[in-house]
Every structure is written in structure tokens, then in C-alpha cells.
Structure 1
């Protein structure tokens, strides 16, 4: 499953809603899990409270008691499925959803006083694990998300560059060593970096020996 970026612009105010839907390994989650972040890109200057309310309604960020506030993220660059390049200078995370492999999920928003509010959908025994995974995703989002490969060639280029660097250092570029190198650079936050690397190989149909090491 590829990463999906969908953008909606409220032209009257410059507010922009961006939904980022990513496979689990991008946020250190197990294979089969998924995460979605809903980001509100803030213009400068900010619109008035009345304009903000109208823009949120147009962008389906209602009711106010659900999407009352959020947490600031670092500036980020994204590319939508239509090839549109986005540069978000003042991104505000206003919502998040994490799905487990069995389809159960946890939804998160922030109240107007900044409190995190969560709603769990699924068997009660899975709630604590979903809560833990949600906080993991939110923590990574605050520090800066993992790279999102927009296609096979971008992923292959990163893997080849890492393999070449290891060779220059006199090391054989095994999957373990490449995964550790990318982890050290913050390019994956999976508990087992090799698991994330292998998920990229599967997703983009990349052969380790035939494509990366050739």
C-alpha cells in the first residue's frame, strides 16, 4: 500500500486541510496496521475567528468541540497523488486515526483547551494496545515523520545510496546494515528497522540483489 496525500484548500482564507494516509511501518507500526493524520496548514496572517469557523466547516473539520485545537508540527514537504507539491510551513495536527490489522481503530482529536480526546472502535481487549500505538504515532509526528516514498524509483535510490555508502566504508551492504544506517538517520522508527526495510521491498517490488546491489 502506497502513501496517499489528499489536499483541500479553502481559497477565501488560505487554510488547507491535508490528509496523510500511511501504511503502518512508516510510523513504526506492525505490518497490516495503518495510520492517518489530518493536518490543518495555517496561513500567515491567521484568519479571524469567524473566518476560521467558516473554513473549518467547509473543510469538514466539525464539530468545534471535536476539532477544537491541535498540536504544532515541524514544517514539511509533501506530494499529493495528483503530483501537486505542498510546502506546509505552519502545520497543525488536528486529528489522527490508527487502524490495527483486524480493522479495529482509535480516533484522536484535541478539544479547544488542548486536551487529547480518543474514541476506540473494536474489542475492549485491544484498546490499550491501540492507545499505545496512537501515542507512538503522535510522538513521531511531533519530531518529524518518516520519509514518504512517492514511488519505486525514489525508494530504490535511497536504498542504493545507503548500500554504496556502506561499501565505501568497507562493509558489505546487507539488509541489516542498510536498515540500521537508515534508522540512525531517522528514516525509519520501526522497532526492528529491517522489518520496515522489507516492507518497502515488498511494497515496491524491489529485489535486494537484482535491484539494490546490482
Structure 2
């Protein structure tokens, strides 16, 4: 990744676990859980989760990682995570950046294409990605929110470019994930028409 000048201001109107949480979009009235802020019916919330995990899954495959599985929590069950995508062998920093941000950016794109995007839903999406961001930043201290060498928007830009090339695959995987709740990596690779990478024991 190369450094890039911030193009927009990060907003810090949200707190997570007592810590300020920067968001690209501004929605001062957003309050409650991520699901509450979406204000969508359960079926569409399931699809939000599916698009998020499908974005990660495609990010893993195009990064030549080995994808084990992707799954979502369907319905109104309250859990800390709405889904999981498990992969290994993403040894390249660029690939890991795309994988990290692809879930978040896939949801933002889907909301726009479905004419469901609002600032409140955009912030809900960003809050839903806090685990992804936290894991990435923990091992990449040079990346931040306008206060480090590399701005986190660089990850967003990389993920957006990758999703542009593979958006049809993302939606195919999301459709199947919504239906089944769990898909193996090989099944996802077949749906996406992309090779699944080599498994590593590390």
C-alpha cells in the first residue's frame, strides 16, 4: 500500500466500547445496535450479512488465499458477529487489505445499488465492520484515520477496485449464502469461478 492524502474527513460521533470510532459518513442520530440502525426487515438484514461475508470470501479468493468457509447468522438472533469468513494463506499485505475491507465496501455498494443507502445505514455498516478494522490495525500501526502514514480509505479504494471486477461473483455467493447460511470454500470458489488457494497449516 502507498500513502494517500485523505479526501474526506473522518467523523468521530460514534463510540464503541467507550472508544471513539471514526466513520467516513456522518449520521449523528445513529444510535443502538448496528442492526437497529439499519432499520431493515430481517430478510434484508440477512442479505446485508451475506453480502458482507461474500465480499470477504471473494477478497480471499482473488488474493490467492485458501478459503475454508463462509457463514452468516440468519434471523433476529443477537450475536456479536453476524457472520464469519475463514481463510488462510493470505501472505501478501495488499491481499490482506482487500480481504479486510471487502466486506464493508460490498455492503456499501449493495445498499447504493438497491436504493437503500442512507447516512445512517452507511454508519451502521461501518460499525458492523469494527472487528475487521480492529484486526487489521492491530498488525498495521502505520495505517489510521488521517493520523498515520496510510489512511484507511486506501483499503476502501483497493477493495472497491477489486469488487468492481468481481461484483457478479459477490452477488452469486451472497444469494447462495442467504439461502443456505453456510458454504464451504470450494463451493464458493465454484460459484465465483475462481480457484481456491492452497491450504497452509500455519
TM-score calculated relative to the size of structure 2 = 0.25
The structure having more radius of gyration, on CA atoms, is 1
Which is helix-richer, 1 or 2?
A: 2
Which is strand-richer, 1 or 2?
A: 1
